[in-house]
Chain A
Amino acid sequence: MIDRLATIGRGTFDILASLGRSSEFLVRSLIAVPRPATGLPLLVKQIYAVGVLSLAIIVVSGLFIGMVLGLQGYNILTDYGSEQAIGQMVALTLVRELGPVVTALLFAGRAGSALTAEIGLMKATEQLSSMEMMGVDPLRRVIAPRFWAGFITMPLLAMIFSVVGIWGGMLVGVDWLGVFEGSYWANMQSSVDFGEDVLNGVIKSIVFGFVCTWIAVYQGYDSVPTSEGISSATTKTVVYSSLAVLGLDFILTAVMFGDI
């Protein structure tokens, strides 16, 4: 009994310690902004690695999700004779929910795991240590650019995802199933509100970008510098990011659209 209590206590203590460390880490890397002359090229390089290299998976997934939405929506809406509303349905689903959420999940799998593995390897090969010994703060040089890159690219990726998805929905709904193109776009225009829908979706993706990148860089920085340590840190990044995104999505949706 005492043993079990002790285990629970130790577990809780470990979780709290890790939360504390990650918060301290977050604050320190947010403060540690490099000088523009050195920082900007580093940031651009990371935006390329985190954002541009994720474009393929985002575009392809967005296209397929939009096409599936078009098909499923058409099937349900024809039962009520309102298949003209398909544009509105595809757009709202993507802009409000699937755009930010699926992008964040893909981002965690593609970019987050890469960030964790890269930083973990830099730690294992003593690159971070040697940087410290040269009098260079690795938080400023390595972590901060990666952090900001994730933060900046996630909303952009989510928007691209939604746009491609809407186009995919049109390919299926209009070009294949024969919904009138005018009503596809007109219904969408009249029902999608910029502040209510688009902006809230962007806010969601900003929050997800922040959380996913934080988890990814922290797990890399805090990983045990061995091959087992790095693989477990990479797994943790994907699992924690996915759970955080889905949990936060519920909270954000409740606040934004729940009328409470």
Chain B
Amino acid sequence: MTSESTFIDIQNLVFLRGERRIFDGLSLQIPRGKVTAIMGPSGTGKTTLLKLIGGQLRPESGRITVDGICVHKLRRSALYDLRKRMGMLFQSGALFSDISTYENVAFPLRVHTKLPEDMIRDIVLMKLEAVGLRGARDLMPSELSGGMTRRVALARSIALDPELIMYDEPFTGQDPIAKGVLVEMISKLNRSMGLTSVLVSHDVPESLSICDYACIVSNGQVIGAGTPEELQDNPSERVQQFLQGKPDGPVPFHYPAEPIAEDLAGGAQR
């Protein structure tokens, strides 16, 4: 992969949470203009990876560059400028609960631009139309369903026409229709806006159906990467266990313990 086509470049990333090594020498390239899925079991720090890319967390060592800019070396104001070029869709949607749907989408425009009110209105309505919720503009976030919340949050994160959009577990807890809508919308947005999309998920079929490129992260490292077809043919047992959802394999069914016979013979000790 040449450097011009790489939008996010992660080299030898090490990140600790307390004593635990979340990432241990992780390297990953995310191509420009494509949908990249980062998959992996729960608790492998996929959300943490997005926060590292967004500069909300700092790595112990290693390098993360976004469009050639090293994220964790920036000063606060430069970081905030870089973030205007990124959108992030949080797992919970993270809509501001005290203002309406319309105001939520208008929020980044009001803060970062000096556009007149009628222009803001046009942009907000266009973004809401793109996610199919123009009619819901006057509802409060508490009145929206889970799927609608995510769509409004998506409209808000594309309000400033970012170059990169990061989706944190967009499919989790959604009914099949909402999932279908989100799948459709993510790939449509990516094509129509020329975005670079990063999708963090453990929903294998949905993710593989829209991504151009996927990688699987486990135990702090990339264990498999490539196009969806390449991944399906990956010989690694760990990759296959994850993709096919086998209950036992390299990731064991049992939490580490002494052999059961010894444990049972141990008598009164808990």
Contact = CB atoms under 8 A, between A and B. Distances in A.
Interface of A: 38, 121-122, 125-127, 129-130, 132-137
Contact of B97 (A125, A133, A134, A135): A125
Interface size class of B (residues with CB under 8 A): 20 to 34
B108 A134 contact: yes
B83 A127 contact: no
Interface in B153-171: 153, 157
Contact of A137 (B54, B80, B107): B80
Interface string B103-130: 0000110111000000000000000000
A129 B80 CA distance: 13
Contact of A134 (B51, B92, B111): B111
A135 B112 contact: yes
A133 B56 contact: yes
Nearest to B54: A133
Nearest to A124: B92
A232 B121 CA distance: 42
Contacts of B87: 133
Interface string B53-88: 010100000000000000000001000110110111
Contacts of B107: 134
Contact of B96 (A38, A127, A135): A127
Given A125-B94, A129-B94, A130-B94, A135 B88 contact: no
Contacts of A121: 97
B73 to A, nearest CB: 17
Nearest to B168: A126
B12 interface: no
A138 to B, nearest CB: 11
A127 B153 CA distance: 11
Nearest 3 CB-CB pairings of A with B: A130-B94, A126-B94, A135-B80
A50 B78 CA distance: 34
Contacts of A133: 54, 56, 83, 86-88
Contact of B90 (A122, A126, A137): A126
B111 A127 contact: no
Contact of B83 (A38, A122, A135): A135
B112 A126 contact: no
Contacts of B153: 130
Nearest to B112: A135
A130 B112 CA distance: 15
A127 B94 contact: yes
B192 to A, nearest CB: 22
Contact of B56 (A125, A127, A129): A129
A122 B97 CA distance: 8
A212 to B, nearest CB: 22
A49 to B, nearest CB: 10
A50 B153 CA distance: 29
A26 B111 CA distance: 23
A78 to B, nearest CB: 54
Contacts of B97: 121-122, 125, 127
Contacts of B111: 38, 134-136
Given A130-B94, A133-B86, 18 more contacts: A38-B110, A125-B92, A126-B92, A126-B94, A129-B51, A129-B56, A130-B88, A130-B90, A132-B54, A133-B54, A133-B83, A134-B84, A134-B108, A134-B112, A134-B157, A135-B83, A135-B84, A137-B80
A51 B96 CA distance: 22
B100 interface: no
A133 B57 CA distance: 12
Nearest to A132: B56
B44 interface: no
Nearest to B50: A133
A207 B56 CA distance: 34
B80 to A, nearest CB: 4
B91 interface: yes
A199 to B, nearest CB: 37
A126 B96 CA distance: 9
21 contacts: A38-B111, A121-B97, A126-B91, A127-B94, A127-B96, A129-B94, A130-B88, A130-B153, A132-B56, A132-B83, A133-B83, A133-B86, A134-B157, A135-B80, A135-B83, A135-B108, A135-B111, A136-B80, A136-B111, A137-B76, A137-B80
Contacts of B95: 127
A134 B88 CA distance: 8
Contacts of A125: 92, 94, 97
A137 B80 CA distance: 8
A26 B51 CA distance: 25
Contact of B81 (A129, A132, A135): A135
A15 B92 CA distance: 32
A51 B92 CA distance: 31
A58 B34 CA distance: 59
Contacts of B157: 134
Nearest to B56: A132
